[in-house]
Amino acid sequence: QGYYTRRGGIGESGDFITSPEISQVFGELIGIWYISEWIAMGKPTAFQLVELGPGRGTLTDDILRVFNQLAALLSKCDISIHLVEVSPKLSETQALMLTGGEVQSHTEDKPAYMKGVSKTGIPIFWYRDIQDVPPGYSFYLAHEFFDALPIHKFQRTDKGWREVLVDIDPEAPDQLRFVLSPSSTPATENFIQPEETRDHVEVCPEAGVIIQRLAYRLEEHGGAALVADYGHDGTKTDTFRGFQNHKLHDVLKDPGTADLTADVDFSYLRKMTMGRTATLGPIKQREFLKNMGIDLRLQVLLQNSSDTATHEQLLHSYDMLMNPKKMGDCFNFFALLPHHRLVHPDKKHKPESNPPLPPVAGFAELLLK
């Protein structure tokens, strides 16, 4: 009966809107980020692009357009797209956008439940779990994915940590209420870090498990992972909220009809890599996009369009993405990379013999030669 499984209202007519739905530039710059990492890694002969929770498929569509525009550069590289999606409704929408709706369903015991070919001729596969995605050199993308995973909530009391639970309200039997667990629960024993200083904490164990899998895969097979979401670095407390028709909605009212979300705790994600990979960020969306050259891209698009409506739309969407009061400051970018991407493995012996590693795009200032 889940919200995404039944409807998942993304977009202007839905319950919330995401960056790729606002501007094509967002997805284009992410596509450039992956190509930049592919070049920095010495242009491997194949890579998988794996997106977790691809929404309507807009982001992958924008990235595929960039790959197509840079086809000459990628010509010797074997590219495939792997989408991890649990919602049957959303996977249909993605298939329509990416393949024009021509897909084959797999009912047998194959890991992918659906496959198709993009409009530009790249194979696309759908899976229910990241575990089902074949191993190999991969670029992972999680845009507004981790914030939708379920959380545990904890409150510090004078008797120690207590878990916040959901109960039926005895005053109104058709309504729900929050209560504190009478004693400690398995979750309070396992998910609270001993050094925790906050009085109220939200923990998403599922995010921890997924990050561990990503870190393991990157360590074993190479690649990179980019996470874009609203969140904090272990500083916020109570962020659990609902959205319906772009307005805040009581999370306990009419369950299953609103988008439920909680800010991503990037300090927790960093901890969960267990040091298997290097991490970069979180940095604010406006910094990341600026470092990726969004200002240059905007100028080109403005020069190439002559009508006022398009100009206004471009400037409006740029403002939505970059304005600190809109999405610019509340969204963050965070990356997982193999350690050797940032430090030469044999740095200890002859540091002077190694050429400097190229900077990671987006996380360092853009210098134009």
pLDDT tens figures, 344-357: 877 666 656 778 88
List every span in the chain annotated with CATH 3.40.50.12710.
3-150+204-341
Give per-residue pLDDT as tens, 180-199: 999 999 999 999 999 999 99
- 183 or 16: which leads in pLDDT: 183
> How far is Cα 119 from Cα 263, in angstroms, rounded to an integer?
35
Query: Which of 102-116, 294-308, 341-355 bottoms out in mean pLDDT, i.e. has the lowest?
Result: 341-355
Show the tokens assigned to 359.
């900077």
d(CA 339, CA 222): 10
* Number of C-beta neighbours around residue 79 at 10 A: 19
Residue 29: what pLDDT?
A: 96
Q: What is the CATH T-level fold of the domain 3-150+204-341, as seen in this structure?
A: Rossmann fold (3.40.50)
pTM: 0.93
Tens digits of residue pLDDT in 58-82: 999 999 999 999 999 999 999 999 9
Question: What is the b/e burial string over 12-39, where b = at least 16 CB atoms within 10 angstroms of the residue's CB?
Answer: eebbbbbbbbbbbbbbbbbbbbbbbbbe
